[in-house]
Amino acid sequence: MLDKLIDLDWDIFLWFNTLGSTTWDPVWEIITKFPYWLPVFALVIYTAFKKLGKTHAFLVLGMVALLILFTDQTTNLIKFLVKRPRPCNNPEIADAIRAVIRRKSFSFVSGHASNSMAVTFLTYKILRPYTKYIGLFFLWPLIFGYSRIYLGLHYPGDILCGYLYGIFTGWLVYQLYKYIRTRFAPKFD
């Protein structure tokens, strides 16, 4: 059963990865780098301050920082424990893929997918009552995740499990956020 899932993961990876071309490689290299997403984050931060007020927005930023720290460190722990080679380092498929970027670290689970989905989930849960189009923020982890497949760094299973793990960690921190908001509500309103 596990072998069939791995084979399916490789097949889906190969299909998506080989759709790329050298013309689009620089675009996807930009998309996969965090600094290029700063305008999106700036818009979300601006929205938080505008809709929630200064004290509440700082609470949200603190929760996001905690979330990123926790999710990033635990995904690195999972990678260390699982030790799944990245597609670009897998000798069984190395000749068949387009490895635009190479990394020596492990593949499962994707930290990019986990972190981006965790932040998106938490931000969505908090800002949904205040912002009509906050659901569009989910485009970020989807595009970000695909960039990792395109560049030859992650299998779809790494991305999917990263998304699920990100939703889980985002939910955990959201529960902490709700507890703090309930316990100290007057300070954050």
Handedness of CA 137, 138, 140, 141 (dihedral sign): positive
The neighbour count for residue 8, using CB atoms within 10 Å, is 13
Q: Is the pLDDT of residue 24 over 80?
A: yes
Task: Write the CB contacts of 68 (distance below 8 Å, at least 6 apart in sequence).
Answer: 115, 118, 119
Q: Is the pLDDT of residue 160 over 80?
A: yes
Q: Residue 180: which of 30, 49, 63 has the closest Cα?
A: 63
> Under CATH, to which class is 2-188 assigned?
mainly alpha
Q: Which residue has the tokens 């670009």?
A: 88
- Whole-model pTM over 0.85: yes
pLDDT above 70 covers what percent of the chain?
Answer: 97
Q: What is the pLDDT of residue 189?
A: 54
pLDDT tens digits for range 77-89: 999 999 999 998 8
Q: Where are the domains of the chain?
A: 2-188
Confidence at 121, pLDDT banded by 50, 70, 90: very high
pLDDT value of residue 169: 98
Residue-wise pLDDT tens digits, 38-60: 888 898 889 889 998 898 999 99
Give the closest residue to 127 by CA, choosing from 44, 59, 184: 44
Residue 188 has pLDDT above 80, yes or no: no
Q: Is the peptide bond before 82 cis (omega within 30 degrees of 0)?
A: no
By CB atoms closer than 10 A (0-12, 13-18, 19+), residue 45 is middle
